[in-house]
Structure 1
Amino acid sequence: MDWINTFALFLGSLLANTLASLSGGGAGLLQFPLLIFFGLPFSVALATHKIASVALGLGAAYAHIKHKSFSVGVAVYLIFVGSIGVVIGANIVLLIPEDLAQKMLGIMILALGIYSRLKKQLGQEEVQSHRDPLGWFIGGIGLMLIGVINGSLTAGSGLLVTLFLVRWFGYSYKQAVALTMLCVGLFWNGIGGIAVAQAGAPIYWPWLPVLLLGSFLGGSLGAYLTTRYSNKVIKTCFEVLTFAVGVKLLV
């Protein structure tokens, strides 16, 4: 690409990952279609996006660790149960018709966005719930299933994790986004990226440095904004992204 298109790709990646880091997911909404728009075939765009998305988690994790936005124990729990699902998802992705799976996921994410919009006080304050052994066990199963989605589809799993943490465990949106960006953005996506590379999926290496830079800076900027804005603002960003991602997956 010439320098103008390269700069446009960087800006698109920066915007996509800033919004994702602020809302708790949805980077694939812009970055993945952007790669296809610039001429990459579907499979190449998918593999390249998955590798680049790891930098989103790295940038966001750095900012959230610096501000101590989450519990280390809960983060380890999320990484463990979700990673099991990611590995399963990476191995069964070829068994699921992609169009059907994406439409079902789109309906689910739209429903979650509508639910969050109707529940005005959801995630505004931390209200501890289901944090006993049974609650953690059931929650682990739910997160494992979301991990399967993460391992097999291109977008949406981070948004599911964010709302699951808010609704099931009673975290505020700020806490949920911080946990999602560390666990899903860095570790789940990292495992997914390794699985994609080991499967021999084609990665377009010339564009990767630009995407990694945009993803890292976007992740860092979004995480910084999360510490500055209220739960109400973050909740609104989450709902806008869920509507956009849901419609994109359906249409």
Structure 2
Amino acid sequence: MAEYGHQAILFVASFIANWFSALSGGGAGLIQFPMLIFLGLPFGVALATHKVASVALGLGATFRYLKENQLERRFSLIILGAGLPGVVLGASVILFIPAKITITLLGVLTLALGVYSVFKPKLGLEHAPRNNTGGGLISGMVGLFVVGFLNGSITSGTGLFLTVWLIHHFGLDYKRAVAYTLVLCGLVWNGTGALVLGYLGNIAWGWMPALLAGSLLGGYFGSHIAIKKGNLWIKRAFETVTILIGLKLIFS
């Protein structure tokens, strides 16, 4: 069991990380995952522990977004069906890949997402669904598999990749894309990754009470603000979080 001081740090950091994540559609690992390593957990244990805690983010967001009824059943099943195999594969191989290589590459890609959104001023501001059938759907599902693999293998900010893929390829606006990311990625994808990592590695269960409470509350209140503020506000939050995450991962 972590000391009470550590539990307080865990709760505050987890709440802040997941509050920002719920606003921007990902990025809780920017604060939460490095914090677990800083407080003494080995990489593999921190990875599995963070993945379990991140499920509470999805649960908190689900409580809030279910009131809005924005998730379409068919599209939700597409995201789950294409992404979950990637999550399982990614979580199965990450413990055998050098962490420095994956973290640096992720930083470059994440920074690119933020810069891309900045230079696309209308990106994600209007809801114009596309690529829901035929070849566009197939290529979209391939992209979802790749994003799922990243989600299973690397913890920091991979929900941001799903958010921008749903906007860029499927034509969703930021508000709807973040809803799908937080509920399906945050709850189901992360839950699957947590099961695989928990089976292959170890989880610091003594650290969980504070992490779960912070993730649950941060996810709920962050989602509430995102719903109230709308697309432009979420877009700016997304750009800020992705650029910060990218720079941190590159120079850490």
TM-score normalised to the size of structure 2?
0.95
Q: Indicate the residue corresponding to 1:224 in structure 2.
A: 224
Contact 2:44 2:95 in 1 (8 A): no
* Residues 95-144 of structure 1 deviation map (CA, whole Å, 9 limit, x = unaligned): 53321222112111111110100111111111222222221111000010
Give the SS at the match of 2:129. Answer: coil
Q: Indicate the residue corresponding to 1:69 in structure 2.
A: 70
Structure 1 residue 94: Cα displacement: 4.1
Q: Distance in 1 between matches of 2:23 and 2:159?
A: 11
Q: Indicate the residue corresponding to 2:60 in structure 1.
A: 59
> Equivalences for 1:91-170 in 2 at 5 Å?
91-170=92-171
Q: Indicate the residue corresponding to 1:240 in structure 2.
A: 240
Q: Distance in 2 between matches of 1:222 and 1:249?
A: 23
Letter in 1 for 2:233: V
* Residues 121-174 of structure 1 deviation map (CA, whole Å, 9 limit, x = unaligned): 111111222222221111000010111111111212100000011111110000
Runs (5+) with no aligned partner, structure 2:
none
Give the SS at the match of 2:126. Answer: coil
Q: Indicate the residue corresponding to 2:215 in structure 1.
A: 215
Identity among equivalent pairs (%): 44
Distance change in 2, residues 1:7/1:85 (3 Å) = same
Aligned residue pairs total 250
Letter in 1 for 2:77: V
Q: Distance in 1 between matches of 2:188 and 2:163?
A: 15
Q: Distance in 1 between matches of 2:204 and 2:177?
A: 33
Contact 1:165 1:171 in 2 (8 A): yes
Q: Distance in 2 between matches of 1:75 and 1:63?
A: 17
Give the SS at the match of 2:67. Answer: helix
For the pair 1:198 / 2:199, whether they are aligned, the reply is yes
Contact 2:60 2:216 in 1 (8 A): yes
For the pair 1:39 / 2:59, whether they are aligned, the reply is no
Q: Indicate the residue corresponding to 1:173 in structure 2.
A: 174
Q: Indicate the residue corresponding to 1:6 in structure 2.
A: 7
Give the SS at the match of 2:172. Answer: coil
Give the SS at the match of 1:67. Answer: coil
Q: Distance in 1 between matches of 2:37 and 2:124?
A: 35
Q: Distance in 2 between matches of 1:76 and 1:65?
A: 16
Q: Distance in 1 between matches of 2:231 and 2:179?
A: 12
Q: Distance in 2 between matches of 1:237 and 1:208?
A: 27
Runs (5+) with no aligned partner, structure 1:
none
Distance change in 2, residues 1:224/1:151 (3 Å) = same
Q: Distance in 1 between matches of 2:163 and 2:186?
A: 12
